[in-house]
Each structure stands twice: as structure tokens, then as C-alpha cells.
């Protein structure tokens, strides 16, 4: 089975020391990306680690597909204990950072300890440099890019950094790269901020020494991506807005409604009108990014994508696409997840009866990033503040909801409940089957949960493999199961088992932090949810309380290696013996 190559580089920012460790065994078992990060995190992060403490560790990793020239492979993964969910969480970002990361020659980079900061860490193929950068305290993301270009001749595509939100420990702060691409969900930017790290840069030529043979499928995928006339090339993910609205799956006015009367003013067609050039990720011919601008307002940004259209548009009662564009640009500049920030702002608007107040929205975004005024409370997220503001807790495991409303798409609702990282649509991606955005043969009726738990298990496992390879999830129309197996030189059955191990290891880690069935719940009712949870746990061979059997405090998972062919005979277990 193909996998990422190289050692793990451990960077202790407290002592300003580094260490490299061979991890060939973990690589051969978990491929790279999210899988590798999860394995390392399980071994190295104490189960009781404070997300903001020195013992929490932040891992970056790419996978074997970043050695290819195939479309849909310009992504990488980051993993740590989340300050938003308090569980182990992985997030991934697109752009161009992944190829620069592979150039350093490391399969993974691990950040541990704390520094007074702000600190820049320069990772190169010939060593690591620590740089104190006091002048960049609370600098915006573009200001960091400007400094790195002037002082070090580095491009934004070589930088992972935080904005003021990360330094101020906003629980949904992002790690930004290429200025407008984000490790968005779960507050990993605040983990860097707690460590005093403002920026990490990656530079080197080590990847040029890696030779990997790729099957014919890789070239065919790239060609199809280049020639396809797909609506996402014109509208990105906002192309789903009218469909979601029609199906009552577009959260509106802080989830009090499920369709928005002015959806056409913020959806795909108007976004396409604002798009002024192509946008893509490294090596990808699909080019589904949507650089937009409005000359009258003087705004130029990348996006907004559909989730931001929901969070700062319909959910905030905003019917002006320029306002959504401005909110998107502000979150990128200040370093915050647009979904969690938008939902949290919408919660405050609901509490104050101020839906559609564009001036207030912009003010709240800035207050949150700098923890000023009411922003200091809103920076904690909905779960920690909803009672104070007198609104419902629209979150799962502490994470604010993305769009694709589970009250209309019941399988997606189940997916929100079971996701180890909370109310995020990409963890299982079940919504694609229920609109549907797939072939009719794979589609499922949106209402009801019959037959969906086993399918969800397979979808979650598949997503874990994509995040480990690393392959973009928007490749679904171009990369099927057999393509993925061929490119990774193994069977799809084997990949499913590796994916199941990753999901189970995340769950076992979170079980150790107190998570169980009580956390796999929704703020609304779906008929048959409890029965579906029973079926889901049974399919995964977990306990009926949502815990992994055999788990005990301090246990290290006994993982049987894969051989690149048939799935291993022994199931992964977090037991002791």
C-alpha cells in the first residue's frame, strides 16, 4: 500500500529543540494525513491534555498523493485536541501548502510545548530555524504574508499562520495558508496561538527525490477533471444553494427556519457573476475555487462557499451577497472558521432581534477576533454561551452546525450525531446521497433512517481514507472506490478497514476524555434516531453506549500492519494485550 514517506519531525517550541523519529510502521498502517496524525496523537497526547496546554500536540501531515501530479490532491491534514469540541479533531486545508510541505522531506511535523511568542518556525529540508517576531503580534494573515515575503522571500503558499483570533484563543480560530485557505473547523488556530506560534513555513526540494509509480487511473482522473464542464467550476459549492433551499435544507435565521426567501440573492448564480478569475489548488485541473470581487464595495475575496453563504447569509437573515463576501474576507484576514463564526454571530442576532443587521455583523466579527466587548463571550462558541444569550444550543460535541439541514436530510442528521468532530458535514458527507448529488443508483431518500447506518459507516471510513491519502472530497464524481484502491496499490476492502481503524482510534481517544452516546445527540428530533444509533454502533462493533470495547485509560492501540493486499486478519483494538 502506498503511503507518505519520511520521518516525523518533533518541534518543541518551549525548549526550541527538534527531534526526528522513524515512523515507517505507522506510515505503512495508516497511509499519511489524518490517519498518520491520529495514530501519532493517540500515542503522544495525554488523554487528559488541556487543549491550550503545552502537552497538547499539533500534527501536520500529507499523504502519498502529494507526490503525484493528479487533480484533487492539493490538500493536507492537521490534528490536535480541539479547544472547541474538547476531543481529538482533524481538519484539512487546500491550496498549495502540501507540496511545499513534502519538499521538507518529513511525513509529519509535530508541534509541542509553549513559547511566549509570537514565534515563527521555519522548517526546511536542511534544518529548523526559530525566529522571534514581536512586530507581528496580532498581525492579520495578509500582514504575516507580507513580512515573510520581505524578510524571507517566502510565498503565502509556503506559510501556515494564525491571525489575531488564534493569538486571542478564539475557540474556532483557523490556521490559514495561501491567505485564504483554512484548516477551518475545530479551533486549531487557537492551539497554535496557545503555543505562541504565529507562523510555520515550509521550504525544500526533498520531494523531488521521491519516485512513485502511478497507475493509468491517475492520468485519466486528471484529464477528466480538466475537460469536465462541471457546475462547481463556475459556482463552487454555492451551486447547491437553490437545491438545498427547495428541499428545506438551508438553515435560516439561526435555525428557526429551513428555507430563505432571498436565497437567489446569495446563491450560486450571483456568486458566478462576482467571480472574476479561475481559482484552484496545487496540481488540480478542476479549478472549483471562486475568487470574487465587487468593485463598487472595493471587496476582493475567495468565496464565499456554500457553508459561508448559509452561516453569514440565510442563517444571519442577510440577503446581500456583498455583505457575505465581506464577512468571508474578514474571517480569512483575522483567521476564523466562517461556519462557527457565522453561526455564533447568528445566535447573537437571534438573541437581540437583529437579523440582517449588516453593520452589527461586521462589528461582531472584529470583536470576536480581538475578544473585545461581547466578542469576548462569543469567542467561546455557541455551546459555552447559548444559555447566557437565551438561545438554543445549535451544536454537536461543541461544534456549530454546517448547512445541509438534518431535519430535511435524515441520514445527514445521523452523520452529524455520530461524527467524532461534531456537527460537520464533511466527516461522513451523507448529504450527497440525499439531495442527491450522486448517481441515482447510489441515492437514498432524504426522509427516514432505514438502511442508512451501514452506509454511513462506509462513508465515514471512505472519508478517513481520502483525508489520509490526501484526496479532496469533491473528487466524488471523478475518483471512485476502485480508482482510489488502484492509486494506493491495495484493495478497497483493505482501505475500508484502515478507515475504520482511524475512526475507531479517534473515538477511543475521545472516550478517554468522557465522550459517549450522550454526545451523539442532536438539538432536534428525527424519528428512529436511537434505533439508528444502535445499528451504527453494532455495525462498528462498539458498545451500545457509544464507546469502543476493550478500551482502558492509558492503553496503546495494538495495530496489525497491512501488507498492501488483503485486509489484516486482526481487527484494530485499543485493548491492552
Residue 568 has pLDDT above 70, yes or no: no
Single pTM value for the model: 0.95
Orientation of helix 529-540 relative to helix 492-512, angle to 10° = 110
Per the domain annotation, does 66 fall within a domain?
Answer: yes
Q: pLDDT category, 567, cuts 50, 70, 90?
A: very low
- Same domain, yes or no: 184 and 236: no
- In angstroms, the first-to-last Cα distance of the chain is 27
Position 571 scores a pLDDT of 42
Q: Are residues 290 and 337 in the same domain?
A: yes
Which of 153, 390, 184, 152 is closest to 163 using CA atoms? Answer: 184
Longest dimension (CA), the chain: 66
How confident is the model at residue 575, as a pLDDT? Answer: 34
Distance, in Å, from the CA atom of 157 to the CA atom of 571, rounded to the nearest integer, reads 40
> For 371, left (φ over 0), alpha (ψ -120 to 50), or beta?
left
Domain limits at 368? 228-400
Whether residue 233 sits in one domain with residue 202:
no
Residue 83: CB atoms within 10 Å: 27
Does residue 147 sit in the same domain as residue 238?
A: no
Give pLDDT, residue 210: 81
Same domain, 386 and 296: yes
- The pLDDT of 531-535, averaged and rounded, is 98
**What b/e string do you get for 162-189 counting C-beta neighbours within 10 Å, with b at 16 or more?**
bbbbbbbbbbbbbbbbbbbbbbbbbbbb
Question: Same domain for 160 and 277?
Answer: no
The verdict on 370 and 331 lying in the same domain is yes
Structural domain ending residue among the three candidates 344, 377, 400: 400
Kindly state whether residues 373 and 334 are assigned to the same domain.
Answer: yes
Give the pLDDT band of residue 207 (cuts 50, 70, 90): confident
Same-domain check for residues 55 and 141: yes
Question: 306: cis peptide before it, omega within 30°?
Answer: no
Long-range Cβ contact pairs of 44-49 (< 8 A, separation 24 or more): 44/110, 45/80, 45/81, 45/88, 45/509, 47/509, 47/512, 47/513, 47/553, 47/554, 48/512, 48/513, 49/81
What is the predicted pLDDT for the residue at 550?
80
Q: Residue 553 pLDDT > 60, yes or no? A: no
User: Taking a C-beta distance cutoff of 8 angstroms, is the pair 163, 336 a contact?
Assistant: yes
125 and 178 assigned to the same domain:
yes
Asked if 60 and 101 count as a contact pair (C-beta separation under 8 A), the reply is: yes
Residue range 387-410: average pLDDT?
A: 98
Question: At residue 570, does pLDDT exceed 70?
Answer: no
Same domain, 246 and 205: no
Name the domain count of the chain.
2
The enclosing domain of 345 has a CATH number of 1.10.569.10
User: Do residues 201 and 122 lie in contact, with contact meaning Cβ atoms separated by under 8 Å?
Assistant: yes
Q: What is the pLDDT of residues 215-237, one digit of tens each?
A: 999 999 999 999 999 999 999 99
Per-residue model confidence (pLDDT) at position 80: 98
Task: State how far Cα 59 lies from the chain centre.
Answer: 13
As a whole number of angstroms, the distance between CA 401 and CA 434 comes to: 18
pLDDT of residue 558: 46
Residues 370, 240 within the same domain: yes
Torsion 168-171-177-179 (CA) sign: negative
Domain end marker among 349, 378, 400: 400
Q: How far apart are CA 425 and CA 433, in angstroms?
A: 12
CA distance 83 to 163: 16
Close Cβ partners of 50 (under 8 Å, ≥ 6 residues apart): 56
Amino acid at each position: 500500500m502506498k503511503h507518505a514517506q519520511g520521518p516525523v519531525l518533533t518541534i518543541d517550541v518551549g525548549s526550541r529543540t527538534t527531534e526526528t523519529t522513524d515512523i515507517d510502521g505507522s506510515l505503512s498502517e495508516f497511509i499519511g494525513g489524518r490517519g498518520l496524525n491520529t495514530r501519532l496523537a493517540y500515542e503522544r497526547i495525554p488523554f487528559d491534555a488541556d487543549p491550550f496546554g503545552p502537552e497538547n500536540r499539533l500534527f501536520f501531515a500529507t499523504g502519498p498523493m502529494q507526490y503525484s501530479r493528479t487533480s484533487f490532491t492539493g490538500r493536507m491534514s492537521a490534528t490536535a485536541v480541539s479547544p472547541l469540541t474538547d476531543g481529538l479533531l482533524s481538519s484539512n486545508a487546500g491550496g498549495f501548502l502540501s507540496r511545499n510541505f513534502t519538499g521538507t522531506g518529513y511525513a509529519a511535523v509535530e508541534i509541542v510545548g509553549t513559547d511566549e511568542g509570537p514565534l515563527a518556525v521555519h522548517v526546511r529540508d536542511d534544518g529548523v530555524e526559530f525566529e522571534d517576531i514581536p512586530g507581528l503580534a496580532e498581525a492579520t494573515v495578509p500582514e504575516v504574508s507580507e513580512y515573510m515575503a520581505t524578510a524571507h522571500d517566502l510565498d503565502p503558499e509556503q506559510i501556515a499562520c494564525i491571525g489575531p483570533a488564534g493569538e486571542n484563543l478564539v475557540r474556532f480560530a483557523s490556521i490559514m495558508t495561501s491567505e485564504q485557505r483554512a484548516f477551518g473547523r475545530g479551533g486549531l488556530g487557537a492551539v497554535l496561538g496557545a503555543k505562541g506560534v504565529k507562523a510555520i513555513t515550509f521550504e525544500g526540494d526533498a520531494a523531488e527525490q521521491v519516485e512513485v509509480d502511478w497507475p493509468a487511473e491517475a492520468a485519466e482522473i486528471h484529464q477528466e477533471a480538466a475537460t469536465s464542464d462541471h457546475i462547481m467550476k463556475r459556482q463552487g459549492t454555492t451551486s447547491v444553494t437553490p437545491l438545498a433551499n427547495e428541499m428545506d435544507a438551508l438553515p435560516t435565521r439561526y435555525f428557526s427556519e429551513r428555507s430563505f426567501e432571498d436565497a437567489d440573492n446569495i446563491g450560486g448564480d450571483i456568486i458566478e457573476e462576482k467571480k472574476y478569475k479561475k481559482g484552484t489548488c496545487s496540481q488540480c485541473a478542476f479549478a472549483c475555487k471562486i475568487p470574487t470581487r465587487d468593485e463598487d464595495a472595493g471587496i476582493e475575496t475567495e468565496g464565499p462557499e456554500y457553508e459561508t453563504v448559509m452561516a453569514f447569509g440565510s442563517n444571519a437573515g442577510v440577503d446581500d451577497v456583498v455583505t457575505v463576501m465581506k464577512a468571508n474576507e474578514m474571517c480569512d484576514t483575522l483567521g476564523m472558521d466562517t461556519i462557527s463564526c457565522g453561526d455564533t454571530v447568528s445566535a447573537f442576532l437571534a438573541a437581540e432581534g437583529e437579523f440582517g443587521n449588516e453593520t452589527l455583523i461586521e462589528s461582531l466579527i472584529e470583536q470576536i477576533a480581538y475578544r473585545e466587548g461581547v466578542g469576548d463571550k462569543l469567542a467561546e462558541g455557541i455551546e459555552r454561551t447559548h444559555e447566557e444569550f437565551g438561545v438554543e444550543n445549535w451544536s454537536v460535541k461543541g461544534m456549530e452546525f454546517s448547512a445541509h439541514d438534518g431535519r430535511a436530510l435524515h441520514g445527514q442528521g445521523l452523520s452529524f450525531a455520530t461524527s467524532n468532530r461534531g456537527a460537520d458535514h464533511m466527516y461522513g458527507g451523507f448529504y450527497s446521497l440525499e439531495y442527491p448529488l450522486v448517481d441515482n443508483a447510489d441515492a437514498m431518500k432524504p426522509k427516514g433512517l432505514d438502511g442508512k447506518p451501514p452506509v454511513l459507516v462506509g462513508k465515514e471510513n471512505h472519508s478517513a481514507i481520502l483525508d489520509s491519502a490526501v484526496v479532496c472530497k469533491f473528487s466524488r464524481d471523478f475518483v471512485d472506490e476502485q480508482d482510489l484502491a488502484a492509486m494506493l496499490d491495495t484493495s478497497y476492502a483493505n482501505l475500508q478497514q484502515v478507515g475504520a481503524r482511524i475512526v475507531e482510534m479517534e473515538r477511543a481517544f475521545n472516550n478517554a476524555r468522557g465522550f459517549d452516546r450522550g454526545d451523539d445527540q442532536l438539538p432536534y428530533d428525527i424519528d428512529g434516531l436511537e434505533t439508528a444509533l444502535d445499528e451504527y454502533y453494532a455495525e462498528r462493533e462498539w458498545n451500545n453506549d457509544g464507546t469502543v470495547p476493550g478500551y482502558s485509560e492509558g492503553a496503546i492501540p495494538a495495530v496489525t500492519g497491512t501488507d498492501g493486499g488483503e485486509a489484516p486478519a486482526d481487527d484494530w483494538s485499543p485493548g491492552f494485550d
